[in-house]
Structure formats: structure tokens, C-alpha cells
Structure 1
Amino acid sequence: MKRLLASIHDVSPRFEREVDQLLDRLAPYVGERLAMLVVPDHWGSAPWTPAFTARLRRWSDAGVEMFVHGWFHRDDSTHNGVAALKARRMTAGEGEFLGLGHDEALARMRRGKTLLEDATGRAAAGFIAPAWLYSDGARAALGDAGFALAEDHARVWAPGGGVVARGPVITWASRSEARALSSLAAAAVLRHALQPLPTVRIAVHPGDVTRPALLRSIDRTFAAFTRGGRRPAAYADLLTVARASISA
């Protein structure tokens, strides 16, 4: 079976209106078969309210997978070398876990995991770093924190285990005209090039709703994968498939 994994990033009280818009946008393609990447306190100024926490539980009860998505989603580290290049080119000051050492990364992961699991009453589906950027220490901390799954731009893996899906995630950029145009071009190529893969990942962000061209591209991309019979799936399904292949 060919799988489609859909996710909404940066779920936070700061972006509730945008998240609702994205949910409505994706519903015709995946229903509630998607993942939410939840930020505990976006940029240190958007902690969860009781009303937002109740929404997280309702979404989780409806079958939405819940991932911890950093803590602040803000990068306060000083970078050098390759990390500095990634921080400058791949995100606008939001690669929170790119410069963290193991201990600090683990502390934030554990806090986020506890907060999310207390809110939903369920185990967190996993951890995905903001901007998909990890330091070596952060990667090592994933298993220590007890997360079942993690992902970056190129793969999904089980910490302490192995890779369970490969292939670039399709996503869009909204923070500048040039980046938006680049992401539109990439999506147009990838929605054809990735058709042979068993698992395709599509990620949307609150900022996408600010650009009609991005929304049209999102529609075309989801339609391109769902009209061919590819089914919306859960990230947890990847673990089930991996375990079945090991035991076979």
C-alpha cells in the first residue's frame, strides 16, 4: 500500500485561526488522518491556555497524531561552520534544536512530552525538531526521552532503531517572495517525482495561508497523490510495517 503522511506544523495558541484554516483545507484529502506538530510555548510568548489544551485533547480523541515540536521554536544558540549555514539558509531563527547540547535538548524534550501527554491522555507520537534541524546531541537525546519516532527533511526514523521511511518532505515557504516561488517550483517537481515512493510526506505551516499561490499548490499536491489511490496514513503505521518486515 502507498501511504500519504500529512502534517500541520507549529500548532500553538498563536496560530489557532491558521490551523483551523489548514484543517479545513486538508479535510477533503485526508479527513482527520494527519499529524499535528505542537509547540509548547511558541517564542516564549504563547503558552497553552486551558481552551487550547482542551482542543488538543479533542483532536487527539478524533485520531490526530500529536508530535512534540520543540519547546520555544526559537533558536537562541550561537552557531559555527555548517550549523551556521543551516541556521542562516534553512530557517529564520527557528532551528531551536540545532545548537543544543544533549542535556538541554533532553530536558526540553521531556518537558514537552510530559505536557503533551498530560493534555491528550495519550503517548506522544514522537518528536520533530523545528525546521527539521537537530544537533548531534539532540539526535542522541531522542531515544533517552523515549520518543517512538522522529523525522528530518529526508527520512523518518525510530530513535534507537532504524529508518522507517525515506524521501524528501514536500513543504512550502512563505517568509519571502523568492522562497515562496522556490517552494512552488519544488512542489511541482516533487508531486510527480515522488509518486513511486511507498511513503510520501506533505507538511503545511500556518504561514502558508497568507499566500493564495501556496494554497493552490497545496491543493494540487494533495490531489496528485490521493487521486492515484494513495491512502492517508498515520506515522505509527510505519512502525507497524517495520516490525512486520523484521518478524517475517
Structure 2
Amino acid sequence: MTPVATVRRPVHHDMTRTASSSVPDRRLLVAIHDVSPRSEAAVDALAARLERHLGGPNFAMLVIPDHWRQAPIAGNTAFHARLRNWADMGIEMFLHGWCHRDETPAAHGLAGFKGKHMTAGEGEFLNLPHAQALARMREGKSMLEDILGRPVAGFIAPAWLYGEGALAALDEVGFALAEDHMKVWQPRTGRVLSRGPVVTWASRSPGRIRSSLWFSALARHALPILPTLRVAVHPGDTTVPALLSSIDATLARFVQSHRPSRYASLLA
């Protein structure tokens, strides 16, 4: 197995090594998406990178129970131990769908457009009927909480895409938090806790790489006026040096004005 990330002791509070501690109401929320046995090496590399910028394990991980139906965490005791260790270090653990694959794609309309252009066949919860969305959320939440020995931090749909069935299911399952491209909210009450775009990167094509580099550069100048900044990184980012450089530049800029924080701080 890959060695555990560099911080050894549990951390259950926000840490920072920048002047941003003087503005505690300005939060920086950072997450590693697509955490699964198939992405473990890339997740380790991203976690080490984030720790250097954020002063410790002050970020979240989004866990997929069975990534593309090829990497089930059920029965994988070695990966269970890694998940528990990350959680013990203070990393927030979110449920990130079930398989991260759109198995009910829409052919037409807005849902079809989103499924085709906003993700590469990974909008799992965009078109799921309510009953299927509810079953996957409940089973995933129960499995992950049994592994971690604690509640999950919340639910974030693959590609941040939710259909009506998924949104209705969120209200029933009891997640503390949910997130899409433009906001973080409390599913049980509908209360919006933070607004503003997620800064993220895409590695699947030269065009996507260029557009994400352009947007992140713009975000470094325009977004620090917001009280809460959100950054999301993916295992595929580790394959493109230009994306890693952009991630470094973005985090270096954001920690100057915003304190690395936990999503749960939005509920305080």
C-alpha cells in the first residue's frame, strides 16, 4: 500500500500558516474528488500537495463506493483502513454518488445537454428516478459510515449534477450538507450556506485543459471578494503539469485572504 500522508496526528480544527487567520469569516474549502481504490496513488499525491498549501489536512475527500463498477470499497479492508486514517486526521469525508457513471442518460433536452457537455458520461444522479437515487444514497451513506465509524460530512453528486429525483432523495436521507457548481446548501431545510463557483480543472481534452487554466487564472483575480472560496481537484489533474502549476498558483493566492476551513464550519 502507498504510505499514509505526511501528517501523523489527528487534526480536528482549522489550521493556517498565512495572514488569512486574521479574517476567520473568510473560508477556503478544498476537496479531492473521486477517491477510490482505483485513484489511490493520485489521491496521495494530491493530499500531500494540499497539505503543503493549507498547513495540514484541512480539506475534504469525496468517496465513490464503486467507481465505474470496477473498484468496490465493500470488502476492501486495506482501503477501509486508509479511509478511517484520513478521517482520523481531520479530513472531512463526503459520499460522492455510488458509481460515478451515468447509467440512465437522457437523449434530449436540458438533461441531455448537461450529460453530454458538462461531464464525460459521469452525471450519475442527473437522470436517476427518485427510488434509485434514494437507494444509492442510503446504501452508500450506510456503508461509508460503517467503515468510518462516524457520520459522513454530506453528499456531493458526481459532476455536481442533480436531477429532480436526486434532489427529492437528498431531503429524505439526512445529509448535513450538499454542494453543486454554484452553492453549498443544507438539504433538510434548503438553506443556502455559500454561493459562488467552484474552481476546478479538467484534464480529459486539450480544450478542457485550456478553458480550466483560463478560468482559474480569472478566479485568482476575481473571486477573493467572496466570503467563501471553493476549490476542487481530481486524480486526473496529476497527469498534466500545467494543471498542477495552476492548482499551486490558485491555492497560494487564496490562502492569502481566506482561512483553510471545514465544510462543517458553514453550519456554525
TM bucket normalised to smaller? over 0.9
What secondary structure does 1:185 align onto? helix
Q: Which residue of 2 aligns with 1:176?
A: 205
1:27-66 paired onto structure 2 within 5 Å: 27-30=51-54, 31-48=56-73, 49-66=76-93
Quote the residue 1:147 is aligned against.
Answer: 175
1:133 deviates by: 0.3
1:173-197 CA-partner distances (Å, limit 9, x unpaired): 0000110000000000011111111
Percent same amino acid at aligned positions? 61
Give the aligned partner of residue 40 of structure 2.
Answer: 16
SS of 1:224's equivalent in the other structure is helix
For residues 122-137 of structure 1, the aligned pairs below 5 Å read 122-137=150-165
Give the alignment's TM-score, normalised by structure 1.
0.95
Gaps of 5+ in 1: 241-248
2:251 is the counterpart of 1:222: yes
Q: Which residue is 1:115 aligned to?
A: 143
- The 5 Å alignment of 1:200-215 reads 200-215=229-244
Superposed CA offset, 1:39-78 (max 9, x none): 0000001011110111000000110000000000000113
2:53 and 2:194 mapped to 1: Cα distance?
Answer: 21
Give aligned pairs, total: 239
For each residue in 1:68-102, what CA deviation from the matched residue of structure 2 results, as whole angstroms up to 9, or x when unmatched?
00000000113130000000000001000001011
Q: State the one-letter code of the partner of 2:221.
A: H
Report deviation, 1:137: 1.1
Cα drift, residue 227 of structure 1:
2.2
Q: Which among 90, 101, 120 is matched to residue 129 of structure 2?
A: 101
Letter in 2 for 1:214: L
**3-state DSSP of counterpart to 2:225:** coil
Higher normalized helix content (fraction of residues): 1
